[in-house]
């Protein structure tokens, strides 16, 4: 009796190639309409995944889970006089995606934070919360509206 080498068929070809050949012979090519329907189904699934990820993100933020933040620069040695905050100090408070939407400027007693673009209600709320946590505030002044944070450390 002749035994077959494992992974080969009677004709010496690989089992994988035989399976592929059988599939090609029995399967018809999908039509453009079938492909479009499949794409629509995938878009629905992706939309659901996106909504789920948004919900998870909101829940994590609500529970106070720390957001990934770049490690802060080496702390400066404490000085006996009051230390003044810099733009760099305020920038480090913001996640990269929010920081990219803002400009930062030192003006006398304050660091002024202005939006580069329309923030939307969700981003505005995140920024306002971070500014308030640093002792800052929002100044509503039409096109000149901005956030400001005192340069004096608390």
Looking at the predicted structure, is the pLDDT value of residue 101 above 50?
yes
Scored b (16 or more CB within 10 A) or e, 38-53 reads eeeeeeeeeeeeeeee
Q: Please name the residues in contact with 67: beta carbons below 8 A apart, sequence gap of 6 or more.
A: 61, 95
User: What is d(CA 34, CA 31) in angstroms, rounded to the nearest whole number?
Assistant: 5
Topology of domain 87-150 in CATH is Gyrase A; domain 2 (3.30.1360)
81-90, 97-106, 109-118: range with lowest mean pLDDT: 81-90
pTM: 0.47
**Domain-wise residue ranges, the chain:** 15-62, 87-150
Give per-residue pLDDT as tens, 23-67. Answer: 555 567 888 888 878 887 877 777 788 787 877 777 777 777 555
What is the pLDDT, as a whole number, of residue 128? 93
What is the pLDDT, as a whole number, of residue 149? 94
User: What is d(CA 69, CA 93) in angstroms, rounded to the nearest whole number?
Assistant: 8
Looking at the predicted structure, is the pLDDT value of residue 151 above 50?
yes
112 forms beta bridges with 105, 148
Output the CA torsion sign for 58, 62, 63, 67. positive
User: What is d(CA 92, CA 98) in angstroms, rounded to the nearest whole number?
Assistant: 11
Q: What is the CA radius of gyration of the chain?
A: 29
Reduced to 3 states (helix: H, G, I; strand: E, B; else coil), residue 148 is strand
Looking at the predicted structure, is the pLDDT value of residue 4 above 50?
no
């Amino acid at each position: 009796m002749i035994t077959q080498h494992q992974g080969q068929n009677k004709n010496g070809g690989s089992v994988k190639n035989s399976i592929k050949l059988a599939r090609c012979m029995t399967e018809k090519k999908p039509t453009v309409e079938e492909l479009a329907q499949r794409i629509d189904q995938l878009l629905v699934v992706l939309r659901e995944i996106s909504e789920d990820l948004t919900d998870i993100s909101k829940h994590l933020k609500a529970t106070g889970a720390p957001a990934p933040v770049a490690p802060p620069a080496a702390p400066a040695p404490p000085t006996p006089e009051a230390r003044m905050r810099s733009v760099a100090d305020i920038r480090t408070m913001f996640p990269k995606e929010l920081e990219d939407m803002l400009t930062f400027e030192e003006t006398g007693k304050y660091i002024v934070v202005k939006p580069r673009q329309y923030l939307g209600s969700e981003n505005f709320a995140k920024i306002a919360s971070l500014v308030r946590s640093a002792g800052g505030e929002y100044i509503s002044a039409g096109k000149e509206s901005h956030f400001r944070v005192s340069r004096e450390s608390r």
